[in-house]
Amino acid sequence: LGFGGSSLHAQSNANPYGIRNDLFDIYQRAERVADQPQVLKIADSLFAIGNKIHDVQVQAMAYNLKGRYALMTKDLATLRHIQKNLESLVRGTPHEWFLFHNWDRIFVYYLSQGQMANALNELERYQTTAAKYNNSYGISLGWLNTGHILCMQNMSAAAVDYYQKVLKAQLSGADD
């Protein structure tokens, strides 16, 4: 795989986002240091390149890296800032799923802090938004998190219904 043109072919097969391979390599490098502050500089560089070449997906991927780090460092203010920026960046594009992915981090933040009421408020807001924009990823993520909440409340039988909805959506390809 490391010889001649076959290396490029192997890289493109490993690039699920379909972005330029050099940018995907930067993204992968950033993922390897996602728990370290240096990920923020890499994400800034990736965002700047995405902005320069007018690639919304690359910019959203940079926000994704920053959101991951913000959750690890329990930085709710940054998660909220990223959410606001993603809303204006990806709304109405095929990349709206990044919005719900970050929103999920806000939900997880509240759960990890034992703030169930705030977690439920976030879940309700993003379920409403996912339905409004008919975003299958956001809808499925809402079902998954509803199942998690029900499990936490010892309502496993009810949770199974939501988990089955997610599984059905994934198997049908509606969650792509």
Span of 12-21, 38-47, 91-100, 150-159 with lowest mean pLDDT? 12-21
Asked if residue 10 has pLDDT above 50, the reply is: no
Residue where the block lists tokens 């986002």: 17
pTM summary value: 0.83
Contacts of 24 (CB under 8 A, 6+ apart): 11, 14, 15, 17
The mean pLDDT value of the chain amounts to: 89
Residue 174 pLDDT exceeds 90: no
Interatomic CA distance for residues 107 and 71, integer angstroms:
10
Give the torsion through C-alpha atoms of 24, 29, 34, 37, to 10 deg.
-120
**Range 142-148, long-range pairs (CB < 8 A, 24+ positions):** 143/169, 145/104, 145/107, 148/111
pLDDT at 173: 76
pLDDT of 12 over the 90 cut: no
**Tens-place pLDDT, residues 74-94:** 999 999 999 999 999 999 999
- Cα–Cα–Cα angle for 176, 109, 15, rounded to 5 degrees: 35
Under 8 Å between Cβ of 157 and 135: no
pLDDT value for 14: 83
